[in-house]
Structure 1
């Protein structure tokens, strides 16, 4: 099922109509068409519409960033596991070459997109509590959803840019902190933890197959936050590995969440918001279709009902070849990649002579053997998947307790068993940890996760050695002439933001 944004937009319009045709005498000098946050948030429907708008803002991840690129690509091409087949976008090329600065459009779009989510959730948290009459249980849930989304946005921001402005109330041009200074990363994390802790106690259902935030999503995100806090740059260590372990275990031992039996279910529209999918960004073709399908296709190799096949973000051959022999995730059109597809999406099978991303491939939209595609994609975009929670638990338990226990092996081996590769046993703490890291690279690729693992671990997977190099100095096999530097641990603040708000200075080191 989909989170029905269309219905809530209808409620939004109904609310405007109510405000514009109320019981006040029309001669009163009070223009009802000039709505403001102070006059709008008066009905329960307004609360529903407001939180729907916050969910809608998360779709900035799939928005365009100039010719042939969407924002999601920023987190992939800097990992060394992705490249591009089109060279027209200089911002994307600069990211691939690690030559970006604060003028980069994708760097700016991530900043603006995340703060737009925060701005909307701040409105919800500020205005919805006063709406009366309203069902108090539903009100608490809406506030919990808003806190989850605000934490989700700040978690991206603090990992991307480090110290960032902490804005928790709606802003106007005359607000005293309209030009805020940067807040320490530790304080940002404190806000994230507080928001998620309150969201856990907001009465949300354990699972929600409509696409709303659920308690499982909240606890899963909190486990990821604690795991990140345990590593760089905060280095909270054992205490936060233990917190991550316990939150992940809560999700694992609860009900209704499991790995899909097949990888094809990961990109089956009928299985969205279910089982392995704990939280996703929602798309529906009749409202807001998934805009990333054409971008991930091979560059004009005629494998889809769509005519515009971009090849904007595709796997590197070195990463594709790093999977273990027999790993189902690397099997053509069964795992995460495809190396052949049907002519025009529905004709004869043909070889492509390179790997492409199948994990996000919408078969219905593109077409399949004998079945033309619709060129209309309802496919959601993953944010939290159960496989991630299992690997969080395995890593955190091993670090918190000094060695892997049986449940950590079970978590790790459930990922490997589905991939049809041998299970592991009898490893040292270090060997087990690196085994978990390898699974994170191979299981969670192209989901906007790998870059953040690189930063928190200060390590990068080496496809040639099957080991891990230090972040600083690592060279990507696909581009060995350049190396990761200390400055790349953070992205630069957008130049336009520094220009508009001098209180944001200094710029991040190295930019």
Structure 2
């Protein structure tokens, strides 16, 4: 009997969810794991590809020079299916964030003793991270499983059904509202969730709910405008805390991370994980210390690059969001690249620049919410309430002023022409930040670079593939393996 008892004992060094959450440090460590999970978007998706390309390849603003990854090719050709690795990886990555956030939200409240303010802050951050994951999931797949507590094989809803979009958005708003009241600072230079990020995310959620597929309309455009205005009002009163950068270089500089315009970012450091945006490097051109490298598996389409207005600083070589020449091996003699490439995520500290060798350590963060997005969200939402106001016009003009573009006078705009002016700025300002695809889906509109206008989503010819977008592309297919594992998911999204 004694021997049996001995064998039944739990090893004291084995950590489980039941014995781990006992002190405040455990809560902080568990939350850190949720933050770490955000980096799934930079994970590998086969040769010459990363998960983040899922949200870029189908927009038509980029193409590929490599074409050696069949899954990525399927995204670019709009022939993705339930086996496409990027789709599977995004599903798994988002639900990992949700699962670990659920652990924090379930276990941290009972930790005693723990300062109440610290506890509330941690729970608020976890709710923001869970809400953001669900916000991505509901836009990609529509009705998705709504899991709000830790699961095990014995859980009643271990094989959950799909919840309605309405219910998912209800949780998203509840989570973000709780986070908004969690005592967070307006900004956080360590990269943690802050009040500005929560309010900005809420504004984007309301803007999305106002459009397709929920079509909430004016009530939610007003909610979006009001929430974005809270951030703008704070920024106007505290321009040294939240503001636009004065130059575009600061958008991709290691020295400005988590500051001013960068309201929320995914954190990268080569000691843990280096910046994952290398697929924007041109195909085997010597623009870094590595010499001829890079894959060019996502590069701008020429038509999109050429759609920037004449004189737009964002299209100016090495000053804006693109580069058309660089320096041999990162810091040597200048050479012409022969095409435009994405500069927005290019780290000159790491890669090198004229006469200055790079550090070879790409610690650049990936932006998730910039103040520029808040301004454009406000301008769009406010205009939808009837007509462009001075405040909406001023928000749009700030984006264009930085690009050294002239903005027509307020009186020259109708509601319709101002609407499209704001949409154009969203395409040109927020390109390659995993935002454009979601704009296409909520608006059911796509920017046409050749006409400078907007086409209906269905039937728009995607310039990277010369294929037309179809109704089915408004949602992604549920991953095949997930449907095999969980019969309660049942019906696949239409067309797949």
TM-score (norm 1): 0.93
Q: Which residue in 2 is equivalent to 1:285? A: 270
Contact 1:102–1:495, Cα closer than 8 Å, also in 2 = yes
Q: Which residue in 1 is equivalent to 2:397? A: 413
- Per-residue CA deviation, residues 272-300 of structure 1 (Å, 9 max, x unaligned), is 0000000000001122211323x211110
Contact 1:73–1:313, Cα closer than 8 Å, also in 2 = yes
The alpha-carbon deviation at position 28 of structure 1 amounts to 9.7
Q: Which residue in 2 is equivalent to 1:86? A: 66
Give structure 1 regions of 4+ aligned residues with deviation exceeding 4 angstroms.
Answer: none
- Per-residue CA deviation, residues 348-399 of structure 1 (Å, 9 max, x unaligned), is 0100110000001000111111122222111000100000000000000010
The alpha-carbon deviation at position 312 of structure 1 amounts to 1.4
Q: Which residue in 1 is equivalent to 2:307? A: 322
**Alignment match of 1:165 (pick from 145, 155, 160):** 145
CA separation in 2, counterparts of 1:164 and 1:306? Answer: 43
Which structure 1 segments of 5+ residues have no match?
1-25
Query: For 1:287, what is the secondary structure of its paired residue?
Result: coil
CA separation in 2, counterparts of 1:178 and 1:476? Answer: 39
**Alignment match of 1:298 (pick from 261, 282, 285):** 282
CA separation in 2, counterparts of 1:345 and 1:477? Answer: 31
Contact 2:388–2:418, Cα closer than 8 Å, also in 1 = yes
Determine if the alignment matches structure 1 residue 207 to structure 2 residue 192: no
**Alignment match of 2:75 (pick from 95, 110, 119):** 95
Q: Which residue in 2 is equivalent to 1:495? A: 480
- Per-residue CA deviation, residues 190-214 of structure 1 (Å, 9 max, x unaligned), is 0000000000001111111110000
- Per-residue CA deviation, residues 318-340 of structure 1 (Å, 9 max, x unaligned), is 00000000000000000000000
**Alignment match of 1:373 (pick from 353, 358, 364):** 358
CA separation in 2, counterparts of 1:479 and 1:498? Answer: 29
Contact 2:64–2:296, Cα closer than 8 Å, also in 1 = yes
Contact 2:76–2:464, Cα closer than 8 Å, also in 1 = no
Determine if the alignment matches structure 1 residue 111 to structure 2 residue 91: yes
Deviates more, 1:283-292 or 1:494-503: 283-292
Q: Which residue in 2 is equivalent to 1:39? A: 19
Q: Which residue in 2 is equivalent to 1:456? A: 442
Contact 1:409–1:424, Cα closer than 8 Å, also in 2 = no
Determine if the alignment matches structure 1 residue 430 to structure 2 residue 416: yes
Determine if the alignment matches structure 1 residue 127 to structure 2 residue 95: no
Query: For 1:68, what is the secondary structure of its paired residue?
Result: coil
CA separation in 2, counterparts of 1:450 and 1:420? Answer: 23
The alpha-carbon deviation at position 33 of structure 1 amounts to 2.5
The alpha-carbon deviation at position 484 of structure 1 amounts to 0.3
Contact 1:76–1:82, Cα closer than 8 Å, also in 2 = yes
Determine if the alignment matches structure 1 residue 472 to structure 2 residue 458: yes
Which structure 2 segments of 5+ residues have no match?
1-5
Determine if the alignment matches structure 1 residue 153 to structure 2 residue 133: yes
The alpha-carbon deviation at position 27 of structure 1 amounts to 11
Q: Which residue in 2 is equivalent to 1:21? A: none
Query: For 1:383, what is the secondary structure of its paired residue?
Result: strand
Query: For 1:384, what is the secondary structure of its paired residue?
Result: strand
The within-5 A match list for 1:174-189 is 174-189=154-169
CA separation in 2, counterparts of 1:303 and 1:201? Answer: 46
CA separation in 1, counterparts of 2:205 and 2:362? Answer: 31
Count residues in correspondence.
483
- Per-residue CA deviation, residues 57-112 of structure 1 (Å, 9 max, x unaligned), is 00001111000000111101100001111111000000000001010000000000
The alpha-carbon deviation at position 423 of structure 1 amounts to 1.4
Contact 1:217–1:384, Cα closer than 8 Å, also in 2 = yes
CA separation in 1, counterparts of 2:158 and 2:13? Answer: 26
The within-5 A match list for 1:38-77 is 38-77=18-57
The alpha-carbon deviation at position 34 of structure 1 amounts to 2.4
Query: For 2:46, what is the secondary structure of its paired residue?
Result: coil
Q: Which residue in 2 is equivalent to 1:350? A: 335
TM-score (norm 2): 0.96
Contact 1:220–1:247, Cα closer than 8 Å, also in 2 = yes
CA separation in 2, counterparts of 1:432 and 1:184? Answer: 33
CA separation in 1, counterparts of 2:392 and 2:90? Answer: 34
**1:351/1:168 CA distance change after superposition, 3 Å:** same
- Per-residue CA deviation, residues 446-478 of structure 1 (Å, 9 max, x unaligned), is 000000000000000000000000000000233
CA separation in 2, counterparts of 1:149 and 1:332? Answer: 36
CA separation in 1, counterparts of 2:272 and 2:471? Answer: 42
Determine if the alignment matches structure 1 residue 339 to structure 2 residue 324: yes
CA separation in 1, counterparts of 2:200 and 2:193? Answer: 11
CA separation in 1, counterparts of 2:7 and 2:362? Answer: 49
Query: For 2:108, what is the secondary structure of its paired residue?
Result: helix
